[in-house]
Homo-oligomer: A and B are copies of this chain.
Amino acid sequence: MTEIEKISSEQLILEAAEQEFLTKGYDGARTISIAQKAGVTHAMLHYYYRTKRQLFECILAKTISTVKETMLAAMGDPDMPLVERLKDGIASHFDHMVANPLLPRFFLNEIISRPELYSLLYERVASFIREFFADLQSEADAAAERGEIEKIDIPMLIISIMSLNIFPFVAYHFIEPVMGTIIADREIFLEERKAENIELIMRRIIKH
């Protein structure tokens, strides 16, 4: 067999499952559809992953590690000056959204709205998020003290950044037709949107 044909059924099922779960959610996903997409019989799915739930958890694990990478990227470089660091973090975070446009909706629906899953995730990231916030806040306080920026509340600022960066991907289907020709080219729109988000946050913190 050539290398190209060598993609295992196990892998094909995983990829099909990712697409199915990310677009339809756990409840809406069908194991039969996954098997069809993967081009294998339905029984194979159970052979490799036993249950729909276990297959879902494999996808879940993938998304959680992607989200962690995104969070890390969004933290920017601690050695940069605060304002540059923020610009950089916002841009990186936005780029991660572009690379994984289906993740936000999936994540908000399947993890956050299920207390058992969410508390599990939360335990893993809580401490390092708190550290990150404390770090940023002290830098922000120092910069404000020096008169470089407005006095800002970091948690509030982060919520603003997340709102601006994530919402367009959760609501893209809504935005697209309403905005009309402005969104004719998705790539151009996303570049403009990224710049706009940075502009908004910069104007919020720069002294006037």
Where the two chains meet, the residues of A that have a C-beta atom closer than 8 Å to any C-beta of B are 23-25, 27-28, 105, 108-109, 112-113, 115, 118, 122, 126, 129-130, 153, 155-156, 159-160, 162-164, 166-168, 170-171, 173-175, 177-180, 182, 192-193, 196-197, 199-200, 203-204, 206, 208
Query: Can you report 23 residue pairs joining A to B where beta carbons are below 8 Å apart?
Result: A24-B27, A112-B171, A112-B173, A113-B173, A115-B173, A118-B174, A118-B177, A122-B178, A126-B177, A153-B182, A156-B193, A159-B193, A162-B167, A163-B163, A166-B167, A166-B171, A167-B167, A199-B204, A200-B204, A203-B204, A203-B208, A206-B208, A208-B208
Q: How far is the CB of A197 from chain B (nearest CB, A)?
A: 8
Question: Which secondary structure characterizes the binding site on chain A?
Answer: helix
Q: Is B163 in contact with A112, judged by CB distance below 8 angstroms?
A: no
Q: Is B175 in contact with A159, judged by CB distance below 8 angstroms?
A: yes
Q: In the assembly, what is the distance between CA of A162 and CA of B172, in Å?
A: 12
Q: How far is the CB of A184 from chain B (nearest CB, A)?
A: 12
Nearest B residue to A174 via CB reads B112
Complex contacts, A206 vs chain B, CB 8 Å: 208
| Neighbour of A122 across the interface among B113, B177, B203, CB < 8 A | B177
Q: In the assembly, what is the distance between CA of A155 and CA of B179, in Å?
A: 6
Nearest B residue to A123 via CB reads B177
Q: In the assembly, what is the distance between CA of A44 and CA of B205, in Å?
A: 57
Q: In the assembly, what is the distance between CA of A155 and CA of B166, in Å?
A: 17
On whether A109 and B109 interact (CB within 8 A), knowing A179-B159, A199-B204, the answer reads yes
Q: Is B168 in contact with A170, judged by CB distance below 8 angstroms?
A: no
Nearest B residue to A201 via CB reads B200
Q: Is A109 in contact with B118, judged by CB distance below 8 angstroms?
A: no
Complex contacts, A159 vs chain B, CB 8 Å: 167-168, 175, 179, 193
